[in-house]
Amino acid sequence: MNIDKNMLKNSSKIILCSIFRWIVPLWFWIYRWLKDQEFLVNLKSQTLRPGLLAFPVWLIMSVFLLIKKSWVSVYIDYGMQRYLIWVGEHYSPTGRGYYNYGNFSEQEKLNLYGEPSGRIEYFLKSYLRTLKYEDGQSILDAGCGRGQNIKVLSEYFPTSKIKAFDLSEGALSVVELGVENQKQIQTEVGSITDINYLKQYPTNGFDHVIVSHVFSLIMSGSEAATLRLRQDIIDELVRISSKTLLILGGNELLQLEEASFKIEQLKRATFAESIARYFDKHLNHGEVYAVFSPESIGLLFLCENKNTNIS
């Protein structure tokens, strides 16, 4: 028997909402009072004094919050230890997130080049004056995949030198076929998480650097190690770019509250946090802007008055 999943979901939602309409008001008033007592204790006002039960409530809520934060900290560290390995397996030739390009014909690879359309295109159409990209300027695509953004960039800026790197030799083989007659485009195997690899690029070596939908997957063995690694990566990319650094991703790039570790599937997880703070040490020679498309968020660092002694 075929079951309409959407109909079943909608019916279940209607039933649950009808039940919760009786429960929510009670919880709403209790929670409102609890939060107000917590607020009054923390306020330490001589005029707005908390009630007699406020201090026990504050103590219980503080203990609960401490337990929650400790749990989350240990959970994130453990998850990162595991997924540091598993994400690599997810994108290995036998993983779910990988095409086994070795089994593809040249024509099949050509059909994959630049597909789906690069996310950079919306930003070029909507923010070109802000991005300040011009034909003839050099571009580095860090973590290029199979060339979705490269194809767009080469169409918009046909005389620009474009350098791209990625961990996947298979994905790069797709790009190399797609740009076979475009000598201004170069590719090589490299990892954005390999700081020694990034250090090989010269200071101000490229006018523009792009990182598209890679950052949420960057993890190390713990939350603290991940934060250090991400800072190091940003520092190097800012050093390499002479004009702009554009990092594209999802909502996780501007996660302004507490960082979160999210398991998506068996061997793929993401770490969400606002990466804007990684630019703080560079604000003496640039500014950070947020740019948006219907499917992506971008953090754009515009370099200004930049010297060659950035560290």
For the record, the structure tokens of 224 come out as 């603290």
Q: Read off the pLDDT of residues 156-173 as tens digits, 9 standing for 90 and up.
A: 999 999 999 999 999 999
Rounded CA gap, 86 and 168, in Å?
A: 16
Enter the DSSP assignment of 251: G
Question: What are the start-end ranges of the H helices in the chain?
Answer: 5-43, 54-90, 106-112, 120-131, 148-156, 169-178, 195-199, 223-240
Q: Read off the pLDDT of residues 193-232 as tens digits, 9 standing for 90 and up.
A: 999 999 999 999 999 999 999 999 999 999 999 999 999 9
In b/e form, how buried is each residue of 197-230, taking b as 16+ CB within 10 angstroms?
ebeebebbebbbbbbbbbbbbbbbebbeebbebb
Give me the chain's average pLDDT, please. Answer: 92
- Kindly tell me if the per-residue pLDDT of 1 is higher than 60: no
Distances (CA, A) of 190 to 23, 51, 141, 178, 194: 55, 61, 11, 19, 8
Q: Which of 241, 262, 295 is nearest to 83 (CA)?
A: 262
Side-chain-side CA neighbours of residue 266 (13 Å): 6
CATH number of the structural domain 101-303? 3.40.50.150
- Kindly tell me if the per-residue pLDDT of 33 is higher than 60: yes
pTM of model > 0.85: yes
Q: Which of 236, 227, 235, 239 is nearest to 274 (CA)?
A: 227
CB 151 within 8 A of CB 113: yes
Mean pLDDT of 175-191: 95
The domains of the chain are located at 5-85, 101-303
